[in-house]
Amino acid sequence: MALFDRTSKIGFIGAGVVGGSLGVCLSRAGYRVAAVGSRTSASARRFAERIDGCRAYRTAQEVADAAQLVVISTADDTIRSVAEGMTWRAGQVVVHCSGAMSLDVFQHPVSQGAVAGALHPLQVFSSVENGVDSIPGTTFGIEGGPEMRTALADIARVIGGRPVFLNAADKALYHLSGVMMGNLLTCLAATAAQLWEQCGYSRAEGVEALVSMMRGVVNNLERSGVPGAVAGPYVRGDLGTIRKHIETLATRAPEVLPLYRELARAAVPFGVEKGALSPGTARQIEAILKSPEA
């Protein structure tokens, strides 16, 4: 007997943008999203209003009692306490949406006979509307036993995602890669755009200028991969340009200089791998980047 199917009632505990986006996508794909609970009744109601047949409950236990598959989409640090505060049925399915946490947070439900898994969308969510639009094509990190992997991979594919299977030891590293490419890439773009203020333009104008370039980077990565898409002065061996970058940052934006040095050093090996940068020039670039003076 399958763990669950499209007729099984699904309940969400946590009504934020991740849970809301998944709930809408699952409902549109024909799954029966029937229950939701949240810290605040208002957010649970907003979740339920987006999905036909979904009811907002006051407590997490009421959601679990109403569902065969319970998705805990709360903040990572509260998953364990939420799961431990409830009574579970034998054969019931509990899934969390954390990319960093493994299944050890579900020791309590498993001890009561529940079957545990993890389904994490490797995506950046700013709102439910944007999240629903961005899920097609998203990679989903899945953890669980063989039957759970199959069931969650089916869900990922049905809503347009690409499933990958993870071991507990690899979860944090997997999640870290996503944070670097999502949250930290956004911060890098914000830092780069802020430099435009020193050129007489606003940060918003800097963002507008750089976003088009970022799209080009994505296109190059898709078409050429790594190291083919890697470009810039660290690949060309433009020592004078690199020195000028460091001199300019040292005088006009010294707070950005350490970040620039580390990112530039990370780029050098890819230039060598690409065959565009000789090992000798790579060593010269490394020396410039390590030197306190350009």
In this predicted model, what pLDDT tens digit does every residue of 42-85 receive, in sequence order?
999 999 999 999 999 999 999 999 999 999 999 999 999 999 99
Residue 175 falls within a domain, yes or no?
no
Using a pLDDT cut of 70, give the percent of the chain over it: 99
Residue where one domain finishes, among candidates 105, 140, 170: 170
* pLDDT attached to residue 285: 96
Residue 259 falls within a domain, yes or no?
yes
Q: Compute the average pLDDT of residues 14-33.
A: 97
* pLDDT attached to residue 2: 83
* pLDDT attached to residue 187: 96
Model confidence band, residue 293 (pLDDT cutoffs 50, 70, 90)? low
The alpha carbon torsion through 11, 17, 18, 21 (nearest 10 deg) reads 70
Sort strands 69-72 and 162-165 into parallel, antiparallel or unpaired.
unpaired
Contact 286, 268 (CB under 8 A): yes
Instruction: Please tell me whether residues 162 and 186 are part of one structural domain.
Output: no
Sheet holding 69-72, edge to edge: 55-57, 32-37, 9-13, 69-72, 93-96, 115-121, 139-144, 162-165
Residue type, 230: V
Instruction: Please tell me whether residues 198 and 103 are part of one structural domain.
Output: no
Instruction: Please tell me whether residues 93 and 203 are part of one structural domain.
Output: no
* pLDDT attached to residue 1: 64
Cα 168 to Cα 110: distance, rounded to the nearest angstrom: 16
Place of tokens 């999640």: 175
Place of tokens 């993870």: 166
Instruction: Please tell me whether residues 35 and 150 are part of one structural domain.
Output: yes
Using a pLDDT cut of 90, give the percent of the chain over it: 96
Nearest to residue 36, comparing CAs of 123, 151, 119, 27? Answer: 27
Instruction: Please tell me whether residues 200 and 127 are part of one structural domain.
Output: no
Instruction: Please tell me whether residues 100 and 224 are part of one structural domain.
Output: no
Q: Compute the average pLDDT of residues 175-183.
A: 94
Mean of all residue pLDDT scores within the chain: 96
What are the angstrom distances between the C-alpha of 139 and each of 163, 184, 251?
A: 6, 18, 42
Number of structural domains the chain divides into: 2
Residue where one domain finishes, among candidates 170, 203, 223: 170
Instruction: Please tell me whether residues 206 and 251 are part of one structural domain.
Output: yes
Residue 4 falls within a domain, yes or no?
no
Instruction: Please tell me whether residues 88 and 203 are part of one structural domain.
Output: no
User: Which pLDDT tens digit goes with each residue over 104-137?
Assistant: 999 999 999 999 999 999 999 989 999 999 999 9
| Number of CB atoms found within 10 A of residue 42's CB | 11
Please enumerate in sequence order all residues whose Cβ is within 8 A of that of 288, keeping only pairs 6 or more positions apart, or say none. 239, 242, 243, 246, 294
User: Which pLDDT tens digit goes with each residue over 232-254?
Assistant: 998 899 999 999 999 999 999 99
Half-sphere exposure of 33 (CA within 13 A, CB side): 28
Instruction: Please tell me whether residues 143 and 282 are part of one structural domain.
Output: no
Instruction: Please tell me whether residues 142 and 77 are part of one structural domain.
Output: yes
Nearest to residue 235, comparing CAs of 247, 220, 223, 250? Answer: 220
Q: What is the CATH number of the domain that holds 162?
A: 3.40.50.720
Domain hosting residue 119, numbered range? 9-170
Residue where one domain finishes, among candidates 137, 170, 203: 170
Residue 176 falls within a domain, yes or no?
no
Residue type, 231: A
